[in-house]
Chains A and B, each alone.
Chain A
Amino acid sequence: MVMEALARLGRSGLAALAGVGRAHMLLAAAIAGLPELLPRPRLLLAQIYNIGVLSVLIIAVSGLFVGMVLGLQGYYVLNQFGAAESLGVMVAASLVRELGPVVTALLVAGRAGSALTAEIGLMKATEQLSALEMMAVNPVRRVLTPRFFGGCLAMPLLAAMFSALGVLGGWFVGVGLLGVDDGAFWSQMQAKLDFRGDVVNGVIKSLVFGVVVTWIALFQGYDATPTAAGVSRATTRSVVHAALAVLGLDFILTALMFGD
Chain B
Amino acid sequence: MGTTRTMEILVGAFMALGFVALFFLAMRVSNLSAAGAGDGYALIARFDNVGSLKVRAPVSMAGVRLGRVESIGFDAQTYQAVVTLRIEPAYDQIPTDTFANIYTAGLLGEQYVALDPGGSPDYLTNGDQIEHTQSALVLERMIGQFLFNQAQEGAQ
Contact = CB atoms under 8 A, between A and B. Distances in A.
Contact of B58 (A45, A191, A202): A191
Interface string B31-45: 111110100000000
Contact of B22 (A48, A56, A160): A160
Q: Which 9 pairs of residues, A with B, have the shortest CB-CB distance? A: A157-B18, A164-B21, A195-B32, A160-B21, A193-B30, A195-B30, A160-B22, A161-B21, A53-B14
Contact of A42 (B4, B22, B56): B4
A160 B31 contact: no
A177 B14 CA distance: 30
Nearest to A156: B18
Contact of B35 (A56, A154, A195, A203): A195
A158 interface: yes
Given A42-B4, A163-B21, A164-B24, A199 B29 contact: yes
Given A96-B30, A157-B15, A165-B21, 8 more contacts: A48-B14, A49-B11, A52-B18, A161-B17, A163-B21, A194-B30, A194-B31, A194-B56
Interface in B84-118: none
A158 B25 contact: no
10 contacts: A45-B8, A48-B15, A56-B17, A96-B30, A157-B18, A163-B25, A164-B24, A194-B56, A195-B35, A199-B22
Contacts of A157: 14-15, 17-19, 21-22
B60 to A, nearest CB: 11
Contacts, number: 92
Contact of B10 (A53, A189, A194, A196): A53
A123 B26 CA distance: 42
Interface string A56-95: 1000000000000000000000000000000000001000
Nearest to B6: A49
Contact of B29 (A46, A56, A189): A189
A213 interface: no
Contact of A199 (B15, B26, B56): B26
A46 B7 contact: yes
A159 to B, nearest CB: 9
Contacts of B37: 195-196
B22 A53 contact: no
B112 to A, nearest CB: 10
B: contact size bracket: 20 to 34
B106 to A, nearest CB: 9
A186 interface: yes
Interface of B: 4, 7-8, 10-11, 13-15, 17-22, 24-26, 28-35, 37, 56, 58
A53 B12 CA distance: 9
Nearest to B18: A157
A144 B15 CA distance: 21
Nearest to B58: A191
Q: Which among A53, A96, A195, A202 has the highest number of chain B CB atoms within 10 Å?
A: A195
A165 B29 CA distance: 12
A138 interface: no
Contact of B14 (A56, A163, A199, A203): A56
Q: Which among B4, B20, B28 has the highest number of chain A CB atoms within 10 Å?
A: B28
A42 B35 CA distance: 39
A190 interface: yes
Given A193-B30, A194-B31, A160 B25 contact: yes
B22 A190 contact: no
B14 A190 contact: no
Interface string A109-131: 00000000000000000000000
Contacts of B15: 48, 157
Nearest to A55: B14
Contacts of B22: 156-157, 160, 164, 199, 203
